[in-house]
Chain A
Amino acid sequence: MGMSFISYLINGLSLGSVYAIIALGYTMVYGIAKMLNFAHGDVIMIGAYTALIAITQSGLPPVAGVLAAVVVCTALGVVIEGVAYRPLRNASSSLAVLITAIGVSYLLQNIALLVFGPNAQTFPSVIKWDGVSLADGKLNISGVTIVTIGACILIMILLMTFVQKSKQGQAMRAVSEDRGAAQLMGINVNGTIALTFAIGSALAAIAGVLLCSAYPTLTPYTGAMPGIKAFVAAVFGGIGSIPGAFIGGLLLGIIEILGRAYISSQMADAIVFAVLIVVLLVKPAGLLGKKIQEKV
C-alpha cells in the first residue's frame, strides 16, 4: 500500500508536470493577451506529430525530433496569433476571439485528420533511459517520469527568471498590467504578444512530446482533453499567475492519478472537475490569483 501510494504519487507528479507545462503556456497567453486560447491543446498535438514524423520517417535522433517540434509549434503559434487573433484584439466582444480560437482548434484537428488520418499512431520512445529502481525493486520510476518532472521544474525556473529579469519579460509584465499604458511607454505590444505566443507554443511542443512519451498513442484529438485539463489547472492555480499554473498543474495531475487509483477510473475526470469547482467556490480567483474588486 505504502509503496504503491508513492508510485501513484510519482505518476501523478509526472502527469501533473505535463499539465503544468501546458498550463504555463495557457496562463502566459491569458495574462498578456487576455484570451482563452482554445487551440492551445491542438498545438500540442501538432508538436507530437512533428516529432513523430521527424523521428520515425526522417530518421532524426530524438533530440532533433523534439527540436523540430519546438520550431514548428513556435512558428505555428506566431502565425495563428498574427492571422486569427490579432485582428480581433480590439473587437467589441471578447467572445469573438474565443470563438475564433475554437475555429483554429477545429482547423488544426482537421488538418491533422487529413494528413495523418484518424487512426492512432504509436509514438516512438524518445527517452531511452530505463529509470531507477528503489527499495529493492519495489519502486520503479521510469526514465520518462524523471525527465518529465525534471523538464517541468527546469522550464518553470527558466520562465520565472525570464519574466522577472529580462527586458522582454518586463515588457510582458507591463503589457499584462495595462496594454494601453505599455504602448504609451514605447513597448512593442504586438511584438510582446507574439513572443508570448511563441513561448507558449514552444512549451506546448515539449509537452506534446512528453505526453506522448508517457501515453504513446497519438490521434488528431490527443491534445484536446489535456488542453482542457491544463486550462483547468491554470484557472485552479489562478489564471495569469506562472507559479499558479505550475502548482495547479501538479495538483491536478496528482488528483487525477490518485482519483483513478483509489476512487474510480471512470470518474477521474469528474473528480478533477469537482475539485476545481470546490476550489473556485472557496477562492474565486484560484489558489494564487489576485482578486480584483471593481471600483465604484
Chain B
Amino acid sequence: MAALLDVKNLGISFGGLRAVNGFDISIEKGELYGLIGPNGAGKTTVFNLLTGVYRPDTGKIILDGKDITGKKTIDISKAGVARTFQNIRLFKQLSVLDNVKAGLHNHHRYSAVEGVLRLPRYFKVEKEMNGRAMELLQVFGLENHADVLAANLPYGEQRKLEIARALATEPKLLLLDEPAAGMNPNETGSLMEMIQLVREKFGMTILLIEHDMKLVSGICEKLTVLNFGEVLACGKTAEVLNNPQVITAYLGE
C-alpha cells in the first residue's frame, strides 16, 4: 500500500543557508508520527514546506498519490493537509464557534449573495455548520465556551481549539506543531489523550513536532529525528530513541 504522505529529498535554502536538506519521510494512513530534533533543526521549516508557506528548492511531496509540491497554501489545504502553529494563531476576535466554522469554510458552502439576502440555503447550511462545529467542540470539551471570544480562552484550551479548527477542514493529514508547548504536565497528559482520541475517532493520520520526549515516546509509533536540517534517524520509536547518534544529538544540545 502506498503511503499517505511520501516526501523525497525535500530541501530549501535561505540566503545561502541550507535550512532543510534531503528530507525524506513516509507516513502510512492512520499513523501517528513524530518529528523531533534540537532547536533550530528545521522542524517547523519542514511544516512550512509541507503546507506551501515556503516553496521547496528540491524534492517532491506526494499526498495520497497526488503531487502537491510547490502548490499554494490554499490548494494544499484543499488537498487535505491541515496544521496548527507553534505560536498559536487563532482568530482572536471571533467566537470559539466561529473559529471552527471558519475551518468548515470549504466544505459547507453558500454564496455571499445567499448570505446577504438570507436565502433558504443560508439557514440550511448555517444550521449544518453549527451542528458540525458543536460536534467538534464537544470532542475537545469546548462546547460550553462556544460563545466566548477565542482571545479569552485559557492557553491550553486555545491549543485545543486550534486542533479543532484544523480538523474542521476535514484533512487527510494533520500537522501539529509543538501542541504541548507551554503546557504543564497535567495539561500535557490530557492533550496526549486528546490526540489519541482524535486519531481513533477520525481515523486521522498525524505528524507532530514535539520537544516533550515523554509525549513523543508515549503516543508516536514512528519518529524521524532532524538535526541541522538533515534526517539523523528514522524508524520505530523505541529504536530511534535508543540510537546512539540521536542520544548524542540530544545530550549535546
Does chain A touch chain B in the assembled complex, meaning CB atoms less than 8 Å apart? yes
Interface residues of A (CB under 8 A from B): 296
Of all chain B residues, the one with the shortest Cβ separation from A295 is B87
Q: Is B44 an interface residue (CB 8 A)?
A: yes
Closest Cβ neighbor of B44 among chain A residues: A296
Q: Is B48 an interface residue (CB 8 A)?
A: yes
CB-CB under 8 A from B53, the residues of chain A are: 296
Q: Which residues on the B side are within 8 Å of A296 (C-beta)? A: 44, 48, 53, 85
CB distance from A294 to the nearest CB of B (A): 10
Interface size grouping (class) on chain B: under 10
In the complex, what residue of chain A is closest to B53 when comparing beta carbons?
A296
The distance from the CB of A6 to the nearest CB of chain B, in whole angstroms, is: 43
Question: In the docked arrangement, what's the CA distance between A296 and B19, Å?
Answer: 15
* Shortest distance between the CB of A93 and any CB in chain B (Å): 12
Cα A296 to Cα B53 with chains together (Å): 8
Q: Which residue of A lies closest to B85 (CB)?
A: A296
- Tell me, rounded to whole Å, the shortest Cβ–Cβ distance linking A174 to chain B: 25
- Alpha-carbon gap, A296 to B49, bound state (A): 11
Interface of A is mostly: loop
Looking at the assembled complex, report how far the CB atom of A205 sits from the nearest CB atom of chain B, in whole angstroms.
42
Q: B14-53: contact bitstring with A at CB < 8 Å (1 yes, 0 no)?
A: 0000000000000000000000000000001000100001
Tell me the bound Cα distance from A296 to B85 in angstroms: 8
State how many angstroms separate the Cβ of B31 from the closest Cβ of chain A: 25
- B residues 75-109 near A (Cβ < 8 Å) are 85
4 contacts between A and B (CB under 8 A): A296-B44, A296-B48, A296-B53, A296-B85
- Alpha-carbon distance A296/B44, docked complex (angstroms): 8
* CB of B15 to closest CB in A, whole Å: 12
Bound CA span A296–B177, Å: 11
- Measured CB to CB, the nearest residue on chain A to B51 is A296
B44: chain A residues within 8 A (beta carbon): 296
In whole angstroms, what is the CA distance A156 to B53 when docked?
40
Please name all residues of chain A whose beta carbon is closer than 8 Å to the beta carbon of B48 when the two chains form the complex: 296
CB distance from B175 to the nearest CB of A (A): 12
Give CA–CA (A296, B84) in the complex, Å: 11
CB of B93, distance to nearest CB on chain A (Å): 11
Quick one: closest A residue to B86, CB to CB?
Answer: A296
How far does the Cβ of B55 sit from chain A's closest Cβ, in whole Å? 13
Q: How far is the CB of B194 from chain A (nearest CB, A)?
A: 24
State the Cβ distance, B88 to closest chain A Cβ, in Å: 12
A56 to B157, CA, bound (A): 70
Lowest 3 CB-CB distances: which A-B pairs, in order?
A296-B53, A296-B48, A296-B85
* Bound: A296/B54 CA distance, A: 10
Cα–Cα distance between A296 and B50 once the two chains are bound (Å): 13
Q: How far is the CB of A193 from chain B (nearest CB, A)?
A: 28
Residue of A nearest to B83 (CB): A296
Q: Please give the distance in Å from B85's CB to the nearest CB on chain A.
A: 7
A296 CA / B89 CA spacing, docked (Å) = 9
The minimal Cβ–Cβ distance linking B218 to chain A, given in whole angstroms, is: 27
In chain B, residues 198-230, which have Cβ atoms closer than 8 Å to a Cβ of chain A? none
Closest chain A CB from B208 CB (angstroms): 17
A54 to chain B, nearest CB (A): 52
Shortest Cβ gap from B248 to chain A (Å): 29
Q: Please, what's the 1-or-0 string for B111-124, where 1 marks a CB less than 8 Å from any CB in chain A?
A: 00000000000000
**A-chain residues with CB within 8 Å of residue B85 when the two chains form the complex:** 296
Alpha-carbon distance A296/B14, docked complex (angstroms)? 14
A296 to B52, CA, bound (A): 12
B14 to chain A: closest CB distance in Å?
10
Nearest A residue to B73, CB-CB? A296
Q: Which of B113-165 contact A (CB under 8 A)?
A: none
Query: In the docked arrangement, what's the CA distance between A296 and B86, Å?
Result: 8
Q: Tell me the chain B residues, 178-200 only, with Cβ under 8 Å from chain A.
A: none
CB distance from B80 to the nearest CB of A (A): 20
Task: State A145–B85 Cα separation when bound (angstroms).
Answer: 57
Q: What's the least CB distance linking A59 to chain B, in Å?
A: 60
Given the complex of chains A and B, what is the CA–CA distance between A61 and B44 in angstroms? 67
* Cα distance, A294 to B48, chains bound together (Å): 13
- Name the distance in Å between A21's Cβ and chain B's nearest Cβ: 36
In the complex, A102 Cα to B48 Cα: how many Å? 41
Once bound together, how far apart are the Cα atoms of A269 and B218, in whole Å?
67
Within the complex, the shortest CB–CB distance from A30 to chain B, in Å, comes to 26
**Bound-complex Cα distance A282 to B4 (A):** 40
Complex Cα–Cα for A263 and B102 (A): 50
Query: Nearest Cβ in chain A — how far from B60, in angstroms?
Result: 22
